[in-house]
Amino acid sequence: MNSFQRSLIEKAGYDNGWECAKTDADGYVELASALHGAGVRIGMCATGEVELEFRSPELLEELLRSGGAWVKREQMIVVDEPTLPDVLRLAARLARALPDRPLRKYREACELELGRGEYTLESFSTEAEAIVRRRVGQQIYRASLMDYWDGRCAVTGIALPELLRASHSKDWAHCASDAERLNVFNGFLLAAHLDALYDRKLMTFDDAGNALYSPRIDPHTRAQLGLNEPLRLSKIDPRHLPFLHWHRFVFENAPEA
Question: What average pLDDT does this structure show over 10-23?
Answer: 91
- Any domain includes 257: no
* Mean pLDDT, residues 186-201: 96
Give residue 67's domain range. 3-96
With a pLDDT cut of 90, the percent of the chain lying above it is 43
3-class SS of residue 43: strand
Average pLDDT score, the chain: 86
Q: What is the number of domains present in the chain?
A: 2
How many angstroms separate the CA atoms of 149 and 201, rounded?
22
pLDDT at residue 13 is higher than 70: yes
22 assigned to some structural domain: yes
Same domain, 41 and 121: no
Distances (CA, A) of 66 to 61, 87, 173: 9, 10, 31
Residues 68 and 15 in one domain: yes
Whether the CB-CB separation of 53 and 111 falls below 8 Å is answered with no
Which of 75, 96, 117 lies at the terminal end of a domain, its last residue?
Answer: 96
CATH number at residue 16: 3.90.1150
Instruction: State residue 255 phi and psi, 5-degree precision.
Output: -65, 145
Which of 71, 96, 121 finishes a domain? 96
Q: Are residues 243 and 134 in the same domain?
A: yes
**Residue finishing a domain among 37, 72, 96:** 96
Portion of the chain with pLDDT greater than 70, in percent = 89
Range name among 56-65, 161-170, 183-192, 225-234 with the lowest pLDDT average: 56-65
How large is the average pLDDT for residues 195-214?
96
pLDDT in tens, 214-236: 999 998 999 999 898 899 999 99
pLDDT score recorded for residue 196: 96
Alpha helices (H) in the chain, listed in sequence order: 3-15, 57-65, 84-97, 101-114, 127-148, 178-181, 192-199, 219-224, 241-252
The reply to whether 194 and 244 lie within a common domain is: yes
β-strand 187-191 against 29-32: which pairing, if any?
A: unpaired
Q: Give mean pLDDT, residues 168-183.
A: 90
Within-domain flag for 11:
yes
124 & 246 share domain: yes
Statement to judge: residues 248 and 212 lie in one domain: yes
Region 100-124: mean pLDDT is: 63
pLDDT recorded at residue 257: 58
Express each pLDDT in 25-71 by its tens digit: 888 899 999 888 889 999 888 888 888 999 888 888 888 877 666 77
pLDDT at 58: 82
Q: How many residues does the chain have?
A: 257
pLDDT at 15: 92
Q: Is the pLDDT of residue 123 over 60?
A: no
Same domain, yes or no, for 60 and 151?
no
